[in-house]
Amino acid sequence: MTSLTMFLPKLEFCLGEVIQGRLQVIAPKPQKMRGVRLHVRGTEMARFTVDVQVRNHHHHSTGPNRAGANECHTNTTTQQEVRTEKNEFLNMKVNLFGADIGSKEEMILSPGTYIYPFEFQVPYGGLPSFRSDVGSIYYSIKAYIEVPGFFKFDIKCKKDFAVLLFNDVSVPLPPVLAAPRTKKTSKSPSIGSGTIELQVDMPNGYAQSGGAVSFRVTATNKSSKNVRGIVYYVMSKTTAAAQGCNKQLAKRVLTGKDAHTVAKGEVWAQDITAPVAGGVSPRFQGPLLSRPYTPRGGLDLAGARALAVWLPPAGLP
């Protein structure tokens, strides 16, 4: 039987990267076919639970020895049902050998061993690989020999591969990520007490999973209250939106506090570097799944946090 073996240099690639590989075909005897093809797919799948009302009917007989008329009772119960919805954002076919894709032309592949090199580019506008309880984003590449005729099955092999935002820190950052960011805000701790001004400066809008995020906090205390410290955290909210449902899975990926006290009338500035846990998924936005990051910082006013929104990083690959 004809066999296919696919060779890839690795199983992790970046958006925009060109994937080069080869396909080995071993045909021990003549193989009727239309061509040797590749099929590359990228899919996002949203998973969510909905409450479904189920009506239950119960029948029983009345009278002596249950020989009387039948009575029907109905009650309604609520059950949870898991639903999924898929969106295929990448669907690309490549012809390696034979008739054009869609053609009905047939040919015979002579016995032998064949090597078909191939390459294709992962689109820059694609989504990074992702898996969570609310859904997943995954990629696959299938090689197959299109076999003509009824009750004939294509000969195929398949590999899954992962797609990342960036390869490593040596990759130059796009201008939108490399640009510095600044956010200013003010807050009054109580009526008539004056204001506290908070400014957060970030050297860029980018943080790497397993690396660190750096920012500078400047607090100007124009109030009559003392500030006990600077608090900060980054919240990630993965959203699955499909079939009229919207489910969010939120968690903090970074949190911390600088305990310096800012006295009334004082201007205080501090450079803060906070570690980002490894394995953090990047920011993305798809028709079904999205994962933004919302960094927030603020002042701890005698235990009451006056939060100021940061400019969110453009990505956490």
Dist CA 83 CA 93 (whole Å): 29
DSSP secondary-structure letter at 64? G
Please give the helix or strand (H or E) that residue 147 lies within, else none.
Answer: none
Strands (E), 135-280: 135-146, 155-164, 181-187, 194-202, 212-223, 229-242, 245-258, 267-275
Residue 292: name the closest of 242, 256, 250 by CA.
Answer: 250
CB 299 within 8 A of CB 230: yes
**Cα radius of gyration rounded to whole Å, the chain:** 30
Tokens of 6: 């696919």
**Per-residue confidence (pLDDT) for residue 126, from 0 to 100:** 83
| Strands 12-14 vs 155-164: parallel, antiparallel or unpaired | parallel
CA angle 127, 133, 139 (to 5 degrees): 30
**Per-residue confidence (pLDDT) for residue 169, from 0 to 100:** 45
Q: What share of the chain is helix, strand, coil (3-state, %, to 5)?
A: 0, 65, 35
Buried b (16+ CB within 10 A) or exposed e, 97-131: ebbeeeeeeeeebeeeeeebebeeebeeebbbbbe
Distances (CA, A) of 123 to 16, 177, 191: 5, 19, 54
Burial class for 282, CB neighbours closer than 10 Å (0-12, 13-18, 19+): buried
Distances (CA, A) of 121 to 13, 15, 185: 10, 8, 44
Tokens of 101: 């894709």
Averaged pLDDT, groups of 10, the chain, 317 residues long: 94 90 96 95 87 70 56 75 87 94 93 96 86 90 93 91 68 64 76 77 76 81 78 78 76 73 83 77 82 69 51 50
Dist CA 173 CA 302 (whole Å): 40
Dist CA 33 CA 104 (whole Å): 10
